[in-house]
Amino acid sequence: MHKDTLLRRLNDKTAVIGIVGLGYVGLPLSLRYSEVGYKVIGFDIDQDKIDALNKGQTYIEHIQSERIAKAIQSGFEPSSDLTLSRDLDAVILCVPTPLTKYREPDLSFVLSTVDALLPYLRSGQVVSLESTTYPGTTEEELRPRLEKAGFVVGENMFLVFSPEREDPGNARFSTHTIPKVCGGSTPSCLEVGLALYGQVINTVVPVSSTQAAELTKLLENIHRAVNIGLVNEMKIIADRMGIDIHEVIRAAATKPFGFVPYYPGPGLGGHCIPIDPFYLTWKAREYGLHTRFIELAGEVNSAMPEWVVEKLADALNEREMPIRGSRILVLGIAYKKNVNDMRESPAVELMSLLQAKGAHIDYSDPHVPSFPKMRRYSFDLNSVKLTPEALASYDVVLLATDHDRFDYETIEKHAKLIVDTRGRYLGVHSKVVKA
């Protein structure tokens, strides 16, 4: 009866949904469940996030405070108290899965969260992992923990893997319009997983196993990482030949079949593309396999910041100036345009490399007013307002993230030298260097 009862509660929206991790994945998912009528409890260890949410305030730029305030009024309950998970019918895990300094999977957030939840889990619940990871994590790490606690997966506890597919700042898609892949530990688990997501996601895509769902997510991100690595390598070749790679890509993109445009940049950023491919690289070693495409793309992409710095140094050298002592303004420090997401941002690596060479660094980013706390980087800086006088005071303006809110005509008019890593300035410009 456990499955039938849970299915009924999920389908008639009387189920209580718990979401652990209220970041770029967990918060929009929490709001979506709340908006369609479920009771939602959101968990996070960051008390500042919990306090902000309870006041109806946002900390993710593309999520409006009004949505949060409305969800709170509808019963959305943000909390750091995991004992509340006793009341849940569903537990959805949206916690980070970074890499260690040795570029190996770090499952500590996932496993410590599961271990902390175990004392409060009960029969008749569904646990869904959304964090990107290597194939086998759900079966090899989560399932044994649940079974050791006395649950029978597929009978009185239901376990699924359903990878997140958020794209922060992309107005064309939202949580409910992006099709969602779901795999279960057993056929009964999959049935419950489809019911869990069926009311909040327009299209749920079932696959045969949790491993297939885990590998699906990795394939999506590896596809992007390898293709970005390809165009970054093509950028270097085109640069040496005196050809504008962005002109070439735009021309190639007019082909209506067999070509998908990817665009080069100063490196890879975000929580997925620079990290997730190496989860498969690590797991493949267990099978005696070497993921050469993935590793080569990683090498090309991770070398991009150094290449940009070299291009900037050459541009200064032509003006008989060294990097040391130069005043450099970095435009855009989020990892992609039109968001405030700083995770793995190549712009910050550029700032660090240039500072290490003796440059005086400032930044301007309308989405990031003050440089945030980061594990690897520390800059005591606030965003510079882009006035004509400010632009003219720098030796170089380095366009790292091409936010739409920048006034590119004003920047070109008043900057002494622009190093453009995003292809924003097409054609030949006397003061623009493509990098």
CA–CA separation, 322 vs 384, rounded Å? Answer: 23
Triad 292, 142, 7: Cα angle to 5°: 115
Indicate the DSSP class of residue 354: H
Report the C-alpha gap between 43 and 77 in whole angstroms.
9
Contact 197, 231 (CB under 8 A): no
Q: How many CB atoms sit inside 10 A of residue 226's CB?
A: 18
DSSP H or E stretch at residue 20: strand 16-20
**Cβ(234)–Cβ(301) under 8 Å?**
no
The token duo for 73 is 């009024």
Dihedral angle computed from the Cα positions of residues 260, 263, 268 and 273, in that order, rounded to the nearest 10 degrees: -10
Q: What are phi and psi of 64, to 5 degrees?
A: -75, 145
C-alpha span between 325 and 205 (Å, rounded): 55
* Active-site option among 94, 182, 189, 272: 272
Are 121 and 85 within 8 A, CB to CB?
yes
Active site residue 272: yes
Residue 218's alpha-carbon distances to 109, 276, 277, in angstroms, are: 19, 6, 6
Alpha-carbon torsion, ordered 146, 201, 204, 147, to 10 deg? 0
Per DSSP, what are the bridge partners of residue 129? 93, 161
Cβ atoms of 53 and 78 within 8 Å: the answer is yes
Which residues, 6+ apart, have CB-to-CB distance to 395 below 8 Å?
A: 316, 321, 326, 327, 328, 416, 417
153 φ, ψ to 5°? Answer: -65, 125
Instruction: Indicate the helix (H) or strand (E) that contains 187.
Output: helix 187-198
Q: Which residues are catalytic?
A: 272
